[in-house]
Structure 1
Amino acid sequence: MIHFENVGLRYGMGPEILRDLTFDIPKKSFQFLTGPSGAGKTSLLRMLFMSLQPTRGLIRMFGRDISEIPRPELPLLRRRVGIVFQDFRLLDHLTTYENVALPLRVRGKDESSYKTDVLELLKWVGLGERINVLPPVLSGGEKQRAAIARALMDRPEVLLADEPTGNVDPPMAKRLLNLFLELNRLGTAVVIATHDLALMEQVEARRMILSEGHLDIYD
């Protein structure tokens, strides 16, 4: 599904922060991405989301070399990838319900086709009583859960999550992990970037460890 070959990344004229990354993300796979702060995990996720181009090397997404994809086609390809960044990116003028439903609204789907699914997912992530609340009123953990729910709404082929349990308590972290696992069982490949060793120990999954610009993989 995703293939990186000798990928390198630098910002401006600085040194390479990622070097010679070669790996695959298979269909229906589940993996943790970890490593020290500043190792480049978020940059790697951005390349996986096709919002950041590598300095060198080959990236193939769904069988296509991303360097050859016309810019107007990238948004369509990104619809196949769900992503949760640490800054949440919720729209402050929309309610929790409206933020979560936004990907489907943008695609022109009728609300009757997704309303029940949105409400059930919000209940699952503990926001069933917060559906009509605007993001400025939500806590950091609630914003995190709303962002996760939005990423899951479109049933992506790949889910990328950057510290998805960083702002929630351990019981909610376990609940969210179970949600990711269920999504994986339904066929979505999952990549979770995290520092949470306790979270990773709950699942026998592939570990991708970034350190000093290099990536080591342990299946």
Structure 2
Amino acid sequence: MLRFENVGLRYGLGPEVLRDLTFTIEPNSFQFLTGPSGAGKTSLLRLMFLAQKPTRGLVKVFGRDILTLPARELPGLRRRVGVVFQDFRLLDHMTTYENVALPLRVAGRDEASYRAEVTELLGWVGLGEKLDASPMVLSGGEKQRAAIARALVAQPELLLADEPTGNVDPQLARRILRLFVELHKSGTAVVIATHDIALMDLVDAKRLVLHDGRLHVYE
């Protein structure tokens, strides 16, 4: 699903923030991405969801080399990846329901074909009473769950989450983790970037540990 070989990344003329990364993400796998602040986790996620190209090395996503991928094919690949951003990126002029349904609307589906599944998903993440609420009146935890629902709604083959439990209490963090575990059981590959060691200890999963721009993989 994802293949990195000797990947390096630098911004401008600065030093490499990622160095010599070689690893794979297999279909239907579950892994945590962790490491100290500034280790390069967000930069690595950007490479994974095709927002950034490597300075050197090989990155293949669903078998396609992103350095030679025609620009016209990029949106199609991105639709196969769900992303939960640390800053939520909800649109304040839309309701919670409209935010979550947006990927399906952009894909050209008729609302009648997806309204029930979006409503069910919002109920699943505990936002069944907030369908018509503006993101501006949601709490931090509610915004996080709405962002997760939006990432899940198109049933991505790969889900990337950047600190998805960083703004919620421990009980809600465990609930959110269970959502990702259930998604994984349905066949989606999951990568969760987190600092939360206690959270990682709840799931028997591979750990990708970034330190000083280099990656260490622990089964």
Partner residue of 2:134? 134
How far apart are the structure 2 equivalents of 1:46 and 1:78?
12
Instruction: Please give the secondary structure, in 2, of the residue aligned with 1:144.
Output: helix
Partner residue of 1:99? 99
Partner residue of 2:159? 159
Partner residue of 2:84? 84
1:11 paired to 2:4? no
Aligned partner letter, 1:152: L
Bigger Cα displacement from structure 2, 98-107 vs 108-117: 108-117
Partner residue of 1:32? 32
Measure how far apart 1:121 and its partner are: 1.2
Counting aligned pairs with the same residue, the percent is 70
Measure how far apart 1:113 and its partner are: 1.7
Measure how far apart 1:116 and its partner are: 1.4
How far apart are the structure 2 equivalents of 1:50 and 1:194?
20
Partner residue of 2:75? 75
- Structure 2 portions without partners, runs of 5+: none
Q: Which segments of structure 1 move beyond 4 Å, counting only runs of 4 or more?
A: none
Partner residue of 1:118? 118
Aligned partner letter, 1:125: V
What does the per-residue CA deviation read over 1:140-159, in whole Å, with 9 as the maximum and x for residues that have no partner? 21111110000000000000
- Structure 1 portions without partners, runs of 5+: none
Aligned partner letter, 1:73: E
TM-score normalised to the size of structure 2? 0.98
Measure how far apart 1:96 and its partner are: 0.2
How far apart are the structure 2 equivalents of 1:182 and 1:29?
12
Measure how far apart 1:92 and its partner are: 1.0
Aligned partner letter, 1:22: T
Query: 1:182-193 to 2 correspondence within 5 Å?
Result: 182-193=182-193
TM-score normalised to the size of structure 1? 0.98
Equivalenced residue count is 219
How far apart are the structure 1 equivalents of 2:91 and 2:76?
21
